[in-house]
Amino acid sequence: MLNIKERVINGERSTYVMELIMEMRNQGWFWTEEFIWHKKNSVPGKWPNRFRDSWERLLQFNKSKIFNMYQDEVRVPIGDWSKSRLKNLSETDKRRDNAKNGSGFGKNISNWVGKETVFPSNVLHLATECNNKNHSAAFPEELPEWFIKLFTKETDTVLDPFMGSGTTLIVANRMKRNSIGIEIIPEYCEMVRKQIKPVEMYLLEPKLKYEKTKIKGRIAVR
């Protein structure tokens, strides 16, 4: 998962994000999904030819089309809209029919009747408040937490090749995941090392014996 956004150079959007996507595909990666982080409390602003961005991309790449994804871990409340939308269903709402604009098959709305939670969309509405305001590209802990829940289980390993202030590793450590961070600035590495502490867990072995292990955060200077 890569959090990235386009820069504006001389009043024009750079194309390096699109170029990155194409290069990743050329190297054998599948561009599986694109998520949008909506910064719901971004400060208003404008420039002569544009407005302030209130969103960033999160690009998902996978080496295989088969990968672990725990969608039930990120379910959200269905919302008040369901009270009226699901009250009087048409015949079209009760089947998956082809969309009139040819974009693909629509949803079977009747499947949502009686449900209290549903799968979220690929737009994440998170505030921009961060614990580390000294880093130029810091993000809130809720952002890596959401993806760690979606793609990993306890004791899995999370790799952050652009560690920065260590938000992802700190969250992974708290969520009982192993973590590896790579960073080019030694000062950030030392700062994160002081914050990461091993978390002791007990894993149930197949022979019904408990074995103590430690969740660790490993950090390397690139």
Establish how many alpha carbons lie within 13 A of residue 78's alpha carbon, considering only the half-sphere containing its beta carbon. 16
Q: How high is the pLDDT of residue 50? A: 83
What's the whole-model pTM score? 0.81
Strand order of the β-sheet with 2-4 is: 2-4, 55-62, 30-39, 123-126
CA torsion angle 177 178 183 187 (round to 10) = 90
% of the chain surpassing 70 pLDDT? 82
How do the domains of the chain map onto residue ranges? 1-66, 130-222
Q: Are 178 and 171 in contact (CB under 8 A)?
A: no
Bridging pattern class, strands 12-13 and 50-51: unpaired
**For 113-138, how does the pLDDT look when each residue is reduced to its tens digit (9 = 90+)?**
888 998 999 999 998 865 555 545 56
Predicted confidence at residue 2, as pLDDT, reads: 93
In which residue ranges of the chain is pLDDT below 50? 135, 202-210
Q: What is the CATH code for 130-222?
A: 3.40.50.150
43 DSSP assignment: P
